[in-house]
Chains A and B, each alone.
Chain A
Amino acid sequence: MDFNLTEDRQMLADTLGRFLSEQYPIEHRNKVAYEAPFHDPALWDQMVELGVFYALAPESAGGMGGAGFDISVVFEALGQGLCPEPVLAALMASRLLTSAGVEQDDLLTGARRYAVGISEIDAPYELDHIATAATAEGDGYTLSGRKSTVYGGHIADVILVAARHGGGLGLFAVEAHAANVTSYGMMDGGGAAEVMLDNTPAKLVLAEAEVALQDALNAGIVALCAEAVGAMEVTHAITVEYLKQRKQFGVPIGKFQVLQHRAVDMLTEIEQARSITIKAASELGGPEASRTASMAKNLIGRVARLVAEEAIQMHGGIAMTWEYSVSHYAKRLVMLDAQLGDTDYHLSRVMAGYAA
């Protein structure tokens, strides 16, 4: 047992952290995150060059990492920097291609951009209610249905789509230009897309894809949890700093016990959030992966909302402004609950384990 990062991972964290703080300051971030294409293509290319994607894929798939802690290190840095780049889409696509045993050099080198279409309006989180269906046509397939909030779908060349196939779920690759893709910016910055499929030609990637899809979701959840931990850490630090500087009634407001104790409670919960993320990262790919991912996403959902709301409240009016960074961190922390299963959804998954 060891709670220190390996040297390689520490280096990756430092490099990515430095890159983001130098190249992606919050003002620049806010400029690109809310205007099409809702990210910075030049910085995206630089992140690719830093080898971020290689860290997310295992050696067997041509990468250099791919373990839970590789993922958490990358996304914690992304969360600290409030990075709007759709790295989550690349991670989940890479994970799916690895499971399918399909070569992914074009993803790792950044030659082609990938997104993953799982969510639907009536089935935002659950795999077993997916309605999009595949039909065999000639020696290929066509897909019909609608994929909703496809993160990174706004810039994707290829969309990996989960669709009903042969009584189960199959995984298909759709060329983005062949589908009807409607892009938009998100409340918390960055972009997504609605992907309308109407007899859209598709290539079968994996026929029985349930296990691979669950693994990609688990990896995505570890990523989101780590991103939240990074964002919460920064939010808490800014809040504590503000408590020291902001004066009312002639004293720094950090002298008021009612605020002190709330700041401590935030810290306690953030430590708990970090712990459960470590747990989920360590179990990723193993038999307990789904259960611990659900535990993590539930706790992160609770804690992230607490930290976001408390940070705004303890700042007062200033954190309600677009100008101040905490408002943007708060939006990210709240909205990531709706990605890959929210607090209640994952609580019910943990409860489902009690039936046995």
Chain B
Amino acid sequence: MDLSYSAEDIAFGEEVRSFLAEALPTYISDAVRSGGELTKPMMEEWHAILNKRGWLATIWPKEFGGTGWSPVQKHIFEEECCRAYAPRIVPFGLSMLGPVLQVFGSKEQQDHYLPRILDGTDWWCQGYSEPGAGSDLASLKTRAVHEGDEWVINGQKTWTTLGQFADWIFCLCRTDPEAKQQAGISFILVDMKTPGIEVRPIKLIEGGHEVNEVFFTDVRVPYENLVGEENKGWTIAKFLLSHERTGIAGVGFSMQALEEVKALARKVRRGGKSLMEDPLFAARIAQVEIDLEAMKITNLRMLFKAQEQGAPGPETSLLKIKGTVINQELKDLARRALGPAATPFPGHITDGNLMFGPADTAHNAARYFNNRKTSIFGGSNEIQRNIVTKTMLEL
């Protein structure tokens, strides 16, 4: 048992810091800090910068162009990126489809798609949820029929994050309606430019546009866009979801949020003193800071375990349950610290109507509302509890 960083790890941290100081454009980190929506070119630019440095695919094996980093290195990198307000890397190609293709894809699929994920040619989105299939994902109805050398797809996907920017979508489709629910599903890759696809925006609680509905009407794609075996897509779906949960503790983002809350509480005045001197508020901060301190170690312990086992295990569900709640608590504290100064609607924030502090602080109410999503997406926290019940408690 040894929590200290090795000399190599410390040197690596310094290398990451100096890289970020040099390579991360200020206009991008400012946009992240201010909490508004990032533009597509911003996200693409950061993706390309990381790819050029070879630090993009942190969870891929080296043979596919990944970094081959140790758990500690991944942790250091994530922490430093958050500290520098680097954008979150869009995960759909890198963290979700990439690992799927590496395990289930054909050699041709690997050779074709993986380099295009790295160089940013293809922006991927995720076609999982449907209006009638959320937590009960296996009840999905989007139908793919094998006709000649094509799939003909009809149906609807929803909650498609950043689908408005995507070139491709990976879809779970029902390919055998007679089979038992999980048995008749296939994993199919679809070019978003294919005729019959329509993307409609969903406006979220805080007014932002990050998710969409995607409609499929007689969409025809080549049969070889199938990944793995026909009707065996559920195995892939589960594999992908377990990868989706790595890094889902969001420890780096919560550390960033904690620093912001502390800075706010020191600036905000209440009753002639700083809010930090209010024992009730300070106690709320202290309690969540302690939870986060524990979560940092829990996250590292699970990363190590994942490395030893070669794949993330069901413990990642525990990370998701606790990590999202910690993050939500921090967003709530930031909103409460601001009090009425959190009032302006994001679209109406101007220097003239700000009651307090720099413009970025005014976004805290929006961030609080937006972040309620984290305990719902990626398998709701209730679904995570079901997973742990089955796999770890064996009830």
Task: Enumerate chain A interface residues (CB-CB to B < 8 A).
Answer: 1-6, 9, 69, 240, 243-244, 252, 254-255, 257, 260-261, 263-265, 267-268, 271-273, 275-276, 278-279, 281-282, 292, 295, 298-299, 347-348, 350-351, 354-355
Is there contact, CB below 8 Å, between A267 and B392? Answer: yes
Pick from B124-132, B147-155, B212-220, B276-284 the stretch touching chain A: B276-284
Is there contact, CB below 8 Å, between B1 and A282? Answer: yes
List the B residue with the shortest CB-CB distance to A273. B294
Is there contact, CB below 8 Å, between A350 and B289? Answer: yes
Is there contact, CB below 8 Å, between A268 and B294? Answer: no
B4 within 8 A of A: yes
Is there contact, CB below 8 Å, between B290 and A2? Answer: no
Provided the pairs A1-B300, A272-B294, A279-B294 are in contact, do residues A354 and B276 lie with their beta carbons within 8 angstroms? yes
Give the residue of A260, A276, A281 whose beta carbon is less than 8 angstroms from that of B293: A276
Provided the pairs A1-B9, A272-B291 are in contact, do residues A267 and B395 lie with their beta carbons within 8 angstroms? no
Task: Enumerate chain B interface residues (CB-CB to A < 8 A).
Answer: 1-6, 9, 72, 262, 276-277, 279, 282-283, 285-287, 289-291, 293-298, 300-301, 304, 315, 318, 321-322, 382, 384-386, 388-389, 392-395
* A residues less than 8 Å from B295 (CB atoms): 272, 275
Contacts beyond the supplied A243-B395, A279-B297: 19 A-B pairs with Cβ under 8 Å: A1-B2, A1-B304, A2-B1, A6-B1, A254-B393, A254-B395, A257-B386, A260-B385, A260-B393, A263-B393, A264-B389, A268-B318, A276-B294, A278-B1, A278-B3, A298-B290, A348-B279, A348-B283, A350-B289
The 5 closest A-B pairs by CB, nearest first: A275-B297, A254-B395, A276-B294, A260-B389, A282-B3
Give the residue of A263, A264, A355 whose beta carbon is less than 8 angstroms from that of B277: A355
Is there contact, CB below 8 Å, between A1 and B3? Answer: yes
* B residues less than 8 Å from A3 (CB atoms): 1, 300-301, 304
- Give the number of A-B contacts (CB < 8 Å): 126
* A residues less than 8 Å from B385 (CB atoms): 260-261, 264-265
Is there contact, CB below 8 Å, between A276 and B300? Answer: no
* B residues less than 8 Å from A265 (CB atoms): 321, 385
Q: Could you tell me the distance between the alpha carbons of A18 and B304 in the complex, rounded to whole angstroms?
A: 28
* B residues less than 8 Å from A278 (CB atoms): 1, 3, 297, 301
Q: Which of A275, A281, A348 has most chain B Cβ within 10 Å? A: A275
* B residues less than 8 Å from A354 (CB atoms): 262, 276, 282, 285-286
Q: Could you tell me the distance between the alpha carbons of A243 and B389 in the complex, rounded to whole angstroms?
A: 11
Is there contact, CB below 8 Å, between A267 and B318? Answer: yes
What are 8 A-B pairs with beta-carbon distances under 8 A? A244-B394, A255-B395, A261-B382, A264-B385, A278-B297, A347-B287, A350-B289, A354-B262
A230 to chain B, nearest CB (A): 15
Q: Which secondary structure dominates where chain A touches chain B? A: helix
B292 to chain A, nearest CB (A): 10
Q: Could you tell me the distance between the alpha carbons of A351 and B276 in the complex, rounded to whole angstroms?
A: 9
List the A residue with the shortest CB-CB distance to B305. A3
Q: Which secondary structure dominates where chain B touches chain A? A: helix
Is there contact, CB below 8 Å, between B1 and A275? Answer: no
* A residues less than 8 Å from B298 (CB atoms): 271-272, 275
Q: Which of B9, B289, B295, B297 has most chain A Cβ within 10 Å? A: B297
B70 to chain A, nearest CB (A): 9
Is there contact, CB below 8 Å, between B279 and A351? Answer: yes
Q: Could you tell me the distance between the alpha carbons of A282 and B4 in the complex, rounded to whole angstroms?
A: 8
B286 to chain A, nearest CB (A): 4
Is there contact, CB below 8 Å, between A264 and B388? Answer: yes
Is there contact, CB below 8 Å, between B2 and A351? Answer: no
List the B residue with the shortest CB-CB distance to A9. B1
Is there contact, CB below 8 Å, between A1 and B5? Answer: yes
Q: Could you tell me the distance between the alpha carbons of A69 and B4 in the complex, rounded to whole angstroms?
A: 13
Q: Could you tell me the distance between the alpha carbons of A223 and B306 in the complex, rounded to whole angstroms?
A: 29
Is there contact, CB below 8 Å, between A263 and B395? Answer: yes
List the B residue with the shortest CB-CB distance to A244. B395
Provided the pairs A254-B395, A261-B389, A264-B389 are in contact, do residues A1 and B4 lie with their beta carbons within 8 angstroms? yes
* B residues less than 8 Å from A264 (CB atoms): 318, 321, 384-385, 388-389, 392-393
Give the residue of A268, A281, A295 whose beta carbon is less than 8 angstroms from that of B290: A295
* B residues less than 8 Å from A267 (CB atoms): 318, 388, 392-393
* A residues less than 8 Å from B389 (CB atoms): 257, 260-261, 263-264
Provided the pairs A6-B1, A268-B318, A272-B322 are in contact, do residues A1 and B393 lie with their beta carbons within 8 angstroms? no
Provided the pairs A244-B395, A267-B392 are in contact, do residues A275 and B301 lie with their beta carbons within 8 angstroms? yes
Is there contact, CB below 8 Å, between A1 and B72? Answer: yes
B131 to chain A, nearest CB (A): 24
Q: Could you tell me the distance between the alpha carbons of A252 and B389 in the complex, rounded to whole angstroms?
A: 14
Q: Could you tell me the distance between the alpha carbons of A274 and B341 in the complex, rounded to whole angstroms?
A: 39
Provided the pairs A279-B294, A279-B297, A351-B279 are in contact, do residues A2 and B2 lie with their beta carbons within 8 angstroms? yes
Q: Which of A261, A279, A281 has most chain B Cβ within 10 Å? A: A261
Is there contact, CB below 8 Å, between B3 and A279? Answer: yes
List the A residue with the shortest CB-CB distance to B290. A295
List the B residue with the shortest CB-CB distance to A260. B389
Q: Could you tell me the distance between the alpha carbons of A206 and B318 in the complex, rounded to whole angstroms?
A: 47
Q: Which of A243, A255, A267, A299 has most chain B Cβ within 10 Å? A: A267
* B residues less than 8 Å from A9 (CB atoms): 1
A45 to chain B, nearest CB (A): 30
B213 to chain A, nearest CB (A): 30
* A residues less than 8 Å from B322 (CB atoms): 268, 272
Give the residue of A268, A275, A279 whose beta carbon is less than 8 angstroms from that of B321: A268
Q: Could you tell me the distance between the alpha carbons of A127 and B304 in the complex, rounded to whole angstroms?
A: 39
* B residues less than 8 Å from A272 (CB atoms): 291, 294-295, 298, 322
Q: Which of A3, A240, A255, A261 has most chain B Cβ within 10 Å? A: A3
